[in-house]
Amino acid sequence: MTDLFDSLSPDLEAAKARVSVLHQKLEQLAHAYYTLDAPLVPDAEYDRLFQELQQLESQYPELKSPDSPTQRVGGKPLTGFTPVRHAVPMLSIRTETDTESTGAINFDTRIRKDLGLAKDDPPVEYAAELKFDGLAINLRYQQGVLVQAATRGDGATGEDVTQNIRTIQQIPLRLKGNVPPVLEVRGEIYMRRDDFEKLNERQRSKGEKTFINPRNTAAGAVRQLDPALVKQRPLSFFAYGLGQVEGNIETHWAMPETHTALMQSLSEMGLPVNNECRSVQGADGLIAFHRDIGARRDQFPFDIDGVVYKVNRFDLQQRLGFVTREPRWAVAHKFPAQEQLTVVRGIEVQVGRTGKLTPVAKLEPVFVGGTTVSNATLHNEDEIRRKDVRIGDTVIVRRAGDVIPEVVGIIAERRPLDAMEFVMPRQCPVCGSDAVREEGEVDYRCTGGLFCGAQRKQAMLHFAQRRALDIEGLGEKLVDQLVDSGLIRTLPELYKLGFAKFAALERMADKSAQNLIEALEKSKTTTLQRFIYALGIRHVGEATARDLAKYFGKLDAIMDASVEELLEVNDVGPIVAQTIRNFFDQPHNREVVEQLRATGVTWPEHDSQRLTSFLPFSGKTFVLTGTLPALSRDQAKALIENAGGKVAGSVSKKTNYVVAGEEAGSKLIKAEELGINILNEEKFLTLLNSTSQAFNTSKITQEDS
C-alpha cells in the first residue's frame, strides 16, 4: 500500500488531502470488519492507518471533524435488529500501540500527572486484565433476570440481540444472591480457538465455507437473525464491567470500591469472569503483567490482542473522568499483531500420518504472533479455490496460540500478472502411490498406507495394537526410535531385527528386548480378521475386517475382489468397497503383504462363506451385560460374531437375546420389561452349541443336495 503522505510536503493542504484519503479508507475497512464481518486487511494494517490519522489530527487540530473515524466507537446497528439506546454509553478505551514497556510507563505517567501526584507519592493501584478479541455486549438484568442484551453499536445505540444471547450457556438467565433492581453487565462475546477449529473442520468436512478468525465468527453469529443458527456456533462470554445500576442499592448490594472487587462480586453472581484480572502497583506492576501475559499468550484457549489497565479505585476513576470518547483512567496495551501481510513463494504438499495430503504455502518469512512464520496451511484443494490463493499472491497470514499458521485471505489488488494457480497432485509426493479423493470428502489421501514413509509410524502402531496383531511392548516411543534411526522402513523389517538391534536401543534392557522378540514371534500366529484389520485400510474397522474374513475366507480372494464383489459383503458400501480396491491396487501394499507372509505371519483360512445365512446366529442381535463367570466380554462377543450374530450396546425391541452375568443393571431390567430372552453364560453356550450342530447338519444336507 503506497504511503501517499510520505510523498507530500507537510503543509496544511497536503495534510488535508491525506486526511480525506484516510477517512475513506478507514471507513471502508471498518465497514468490512464490523458490519460485513469480512476484514480486508490484518488488524496491524488498520492500526497503522488509524495511528497516522491520529498523528495528523494532533499536528493539525483544525482537521479533526465529528465524522472522523477517530471520533467513533464502532459500526452502526444492522437494520434487521431493534435499536437499543444505551442508558450509559458504551465507550471504547484508548489503545496504546507501543508494545514495549514504555507503553505502560506512559500510561502511569499520565495518570499520576492527572491525579496531581508527586514523585515520592505511593504508586497508583491498577486493575490489570486481558483484552479479549471478541464482540462487546451489554446485558441488562432487572430483579436479577436477564431481560435484554444489546451490542455496542455506535456506542450510543446498539442492536437488540437478546434471543441470540440466550443461547450462550455461560450467560446466566438469573443472577445469584442479592442484586440491584437494575444491573447492566458489560463483557465480551468470543469464541475459543479449539471451538473455532472444530467449527471450521465441520465446515470443511461438509465442503462448506470456512470462517476467517474467531473474532469475526463470534460477531457474525451474534448478528444472525435466526437464533437457531446462533446456537450452532460455540460462543463464550466474559464479564468485565458495568453499565447502568439503579434502585436502592444499599438494601440489595454493596457497590465495591475497586474494579478487582467488582469482578469478584460479579463472579459470585454467577457471571463468568476471567481469573487473570489482578491488582498491581504502579508502572512496574503494569510492566510485569504485560510481560507475563505476553509470554503466556499462546497458552490461553482464546485470542487476546493485548491487556487492559484500569485505575482500580472507582473514586479515582470519577476524579479522572473522560476525554471526548475515552475514559482517562483506562488504556488497552497491545501485543504484536497475530495477522500480517506476506507473499506466497510456492505451494508444497505435506503427507500426514494418516495419509492426508495438505497443501502448505511457502511464505516470504514474516514476524507474526511473536514468531517468524515461513509456512502456513492451506487445508485442502477446495480452500485454495475458495480463497483463490495463487503463487505470487500477497496474503493475510494468521497465527494464534498453538494453532498452525494459516492463510486466511488474499489482497486481490496486489496480485502480480504472473501469479500461478496451484494444481493438487494425483500421486503421493512421498511414495508415488495414487492420491484419491473419496466421494463426499474434501481431502486427498495417499493409498500407499503400508509403504508410504509419511505413514510409517502410524502404520506400525496400528499393526501392533491389541486388537490387531497384539505386539506387546511395541509402543509409540519405541516406534519413534526404530523409524527415526532408520532401522525400520517397512512393517516386515520388524520381524527381521534380532535381539542385538533391539537391546542397543535407548532405555531398552536385555529383558525388554527379549520380551519384544517373543511378542513378535507370538504375533505371527493370528487370524485373517486381525490381519486385515492390522493393515490399516481406511474405513476398515474390526467389524468390517471380520465380515470380509467370513465372506471371502482367504486373503487372496479379498485382494483380488472387484468392487462389485466387495459390495456383497455385509455393511460394505460403495465408499468402503472402493477404498479396499484402491488399497490393494497399489503394488507397494501388495508387496508388503507378501513380505509379511514370507516372514512367517500366518492365519487359518477357509472356503468362502458367501451364503452368510448358513451361520448359526445369522440375523440375531445380542446384548451383553454384567460379568460372566468364565468368558470375558471380548470372548463372548467374538463367539457371537464368529457365529454370524451382532452385539449391540443397548436393549431394544430388535434385541433377540440378552446374556447377563453378575451385577447386570438397567439392560437386564429393560430386557425383562420387553420380554426378551435372557441367558446366563451356561445357557448361552448351550444355545451356541445346539445351533452350531443344527447349522452343520443343515450345511451338510445342502452340500449333499
362 is catalytic: no
> How far is residue 460's CA from residue 475's CA, in Å, rounded to a whole number?
9
Would you state the pLDDT for residue 24? 84
Would you state the pLDDT for residue 611? 44
Of the two residues 240 and 76, the one the predictor is more confident about is 240
Q: Alpha helices of 146-273 — where are they, by DSSP H? A: 162-165, 193-205, 214-222, 227-231, 249-252, 259-268
Across 225-250, average pLDDT:
84
The phi, psi pair for 608, rounded to 5°, reads -55, 135
What's the distance, CA 28 to chain centroid? 31
DSSP string, 564-590: HHHTTSTT--HHHHHHHHHHHHSHHHH
Would you state the pLDDT for residue 10? 53
Residue 321, helix vs strand vs coil? coil
Sheet holding 278-281, edge to edge: 94-96, 330-334, 304-311, 125-132, 278-281
435-436 and 394-398 strand pairing: unpaired
Of the two residues 68 and 393, the one the predictor is more confident about is 393
Q: How far, in Å, are 148, 454, 455, 496 from residue 490 at the CA level?
A: 63, 11, 10, 11
Across 1-23, average pLDDT:
68
**What element of type H or E holds 374?**
strand 371-377
> How far is residue 499's CA from residue 291's CA, in Å, rounded to a whole number?
53
> How far is residue 339's CA from residue 44's CA, in Å, rounded to a whole number?
7
| For residue 489, pLDDT beyond 80 | yes
Using one digit for the tens of pLDDT, what is the confidence trace for 58-78? 888 888 876 677 765 444 544
Would you state the pLDDT for residue 148? 94
Would you state the pLDDT for residue 384? 93
Q: How confident is the model at residue 8 (pLDDT cuts 50, 70, 90)?
A: very low
| For residue 165, pLDDT beyond 80 | yes
- Residue in 519, 518, 459 with CA at minimum distance from that of residue 491: 459
DSSP state of 427: B
Stated pTM of the model: 0.56
Would you state the pLDDT for residue 263? 96
> How far is residue 137's CA from residue 33's CA, in Å, rounded to a whole number?
17
CB 194, CB 159: distance < 8 Å: no
Using one digit for the tens of pLDDT, what is the confidence trace for 265-320? 999 998 999 999 999 999 999 999 999 998 888 888 898 889 999 999 999 999 99
| For residue 260, pLDDT beyond 70 | yes
CB 524, CB 533: distance < 8 Å: no
- Selecting among 64, 76, 131, 654, the annotated active-site residue is 131
> How far is residue 535's CA from residue 519's CA, in Å, rounded to a whole number?
18
> How far is residue 379's CA from residue 619's CA, in Å, rounded to a whole number?
43
- Residue in 302, 260, 350, 284 with CA at minimum distance from that of residue 135: 302
Mean pLDDT of the chain: 87
Q: How far, in Å, are 429, 499, 526 from residue 513 at the CA level?
A: 35, 6, 22
Of the two residues 13 and 395, the one the predictor is more confident about is 395
Domains and CATH numbers, the chain: 4-72 (1.10.287.610), 94-334 (3.30.470.30), 339-414 (2.40.50.140), 445-598 (1.10.150.20), 612-704 (3.40.50.10190)
Would you state the pLDDT for residue 641? 81
Would you state the pLDDT for residue 428? 94
